[in-house]
Amino acid sequence: MSESKGRMQVLQGNEACAVGALAAGVNFFGGYPITPSSEIAEVMSQCLPLMGGRFIQMEDEIASIAAIVGASLAGAKAMTATSGPGFSLMQENIGFAAIAEVPCLIVNVQRAGPSTGLPTQPAQADVQQTRWGTHGDHAMIALAPSSVLECFTMTVDCINLSERYRTPVVLLSDEVIGHMRESVTLPAPGTYRVEPRKLPEEDGSDYRPYCECEGDPLPALSAFGDEHRYHVTGLTHDARGFPTMVKEEVDLKIRGIVGKIENCADELASYEEFMIDDADVLLFAYGSTARVAKSSVRDLRKRGVRAGLLRTRTIWPFSSTRLQELSEQMKLVVVPEMNLGQLSLEVERAVCGATEVRQLGKVDGDLFTPDEIAEFTMEAVGK
């Protein structure tokens, strides 16, 4: 995102997300009301009719994601927004979008669970559900915003990534980020990249919607109604989209949908580094927790601990590279997150015993305080 020409305005995270979606060319929204994400649907229902798009409120979240996948196949840039219980219901057709390789965006404004949990309170407990919620081998792209501005920019990024990788992408927001109001200056149109829907150039008879050989570039996705008349199925399929049980074709398909994302983990990794250069204690955080952790770093510095913060914007695919580099200079990595150990498991795998990793979990529905994280860290370093 380059420099913007817009004016400052006060926006809520969920509103900024909706504006970002429209900026990225989203012209179809299918959704179902759920706290704390409903503002996204409300803003989309208000704006889309005036901007040449269409909004539809479906009968449940299963139907919502089904509708956006259908719309995407018909050439629309399509999204939905939900929270934990709805996200659980969507897993079925997130898997469909993954195997059928259909771009779409799911915004999950996380709240505390399981089940109905605490509908109005924040959590970060859907991190592993995002990665593994649908059955079968697949990969996932998920980004976590930490500010209202990032609700805008990351929604644009998510749409772009879903188009580039032809895959469902999750914006993993949380109740605090979604409902927070901040002064922001949104980037003006033309200053950020919008990935267009790439349409195939070849004519109908020879069209293949899927890769034929390992390492083939991802074919462009034809829109229903153009001349290609191809088949889309949730069954494992060949390059033309027709069901197959041929071992080589099945293997190629599954490795393909995983590899196209996992092999780009380093490329997709995006971090904010804060006071990292001389740090020997690393706080690793994301989403609303990362905002708090930044204050904790300042506190810890005052108290003689050389702390630094690595805030990851990319949750999935999880990249180990930067963490491995940094773990050599750290005597401790602390992972505060609003769950009882989810992304910390990935951190442990990345650090691989090079240094100690401690998870600080919080599941009482409240945001961390800077003190909580600082105290825990002081104790862990033995001060």
Partner 1 sequence: MSEAIKVARTYLRPDKKLPTVWCGGCGLGIIMSAMLRAIANVGVDKNKVAVVSGIGCTGRMPTYVDFNTLHTTHGRGLAFATGVKVARPELTVIAAMGDGDALAIGGNHFIHACRRNIDMTAVVANNQIYGMTGGQYSPTTPHGKRGTTAPYGNVEHAFDTAALAVGAGATFVARTSVYHAREAAALIEKAIRHKGFSVVEVMANCHTSYGRMNKFASPVDMLEWMRDNSVPVKAAERMDAKDLEGKFTRGIMVETEKPEFIQAYDELAERMVADPAAVAGVKKIIQAYDEMADQLKSTEG
| Residues contributing to the site for partner 1 (CB under 8 A) | 6-7, 9, 11, 15, 18-19, 22-23, 25, 27-28, 30, 43, 46-47, 49-54, 56, 58-60, 62-64, 66-78, 92-93, 96, 186, 188-190, 194, 196-197, 204, 223-235, 242-243
- Backbone dihedral angles phi then psi of residue 195, each to the nearest 5 degrees: -70, 120
Q: Please say which residue, 234 or 361, places its beta carbon nearer to partner 1.
A: 234
Compute the least distance from the CB of residue 49 to partner 1, in Å: 4
User: Coil, helix or strand for 309?
Assistant: strand
Cα distances (Å, whole numbers) of residue 327 to 31, 243, 313: 42, 46, 19
C-beta of 22: minimal distance to partner 1 in Å?
A: 6
Q: How far is the CB of 93 from partner 1 (least distance, A)?
A: 6
**For residue 264, how far is the Cα from the chain centroid?**
15
Q: Are the beta carbons of 332 and 282 closer than 8 angstroms?
A: yes
**CB-nearer residue toward partner 1: 243 or 304:** 243
CB nearer to partner 1: give 228 or 311: 228
Nearer to partner 1, 187 or 336 (CB): 187
Which CB, 97 or 144, lies closer to partner 1? 97
Helical residues (DSSP H) of 239-286, grouped into ranges = 247-262, 265-268
CB 166 within 8 A of CB 100: no
CB of 35 to partner 1, least distance (A): 20
Q: Closest separation between CB of residue 343 and partner 1, Å?
A: 29
**Which residues are CB-neighbours of 263 under 8 A, at least 6 positions away?**
none
Least distance in Å: CB of 175 to partner 1? 20
Say which DSSP state 37 is in. Answer: T
Complex with partner 1: residue 120 or 233, whichever CB lies closer: 233
> Virtual CA dihedral for 298, 301, 305, 310, nearest 10 degrees?
40
Compute CA distances 69 → 15, 55, 101, 301, whole Å.
Answer: 23, 14, 10, 48
Q: In angstroms, give the least distance from the CB of 19 to partner 1.
A: 5
Q: Are 323 and 317 in contact (CB under 8 A)?
A: no
- Of residues 52 and 217, the one with the C-beta less far from partner 1: 52
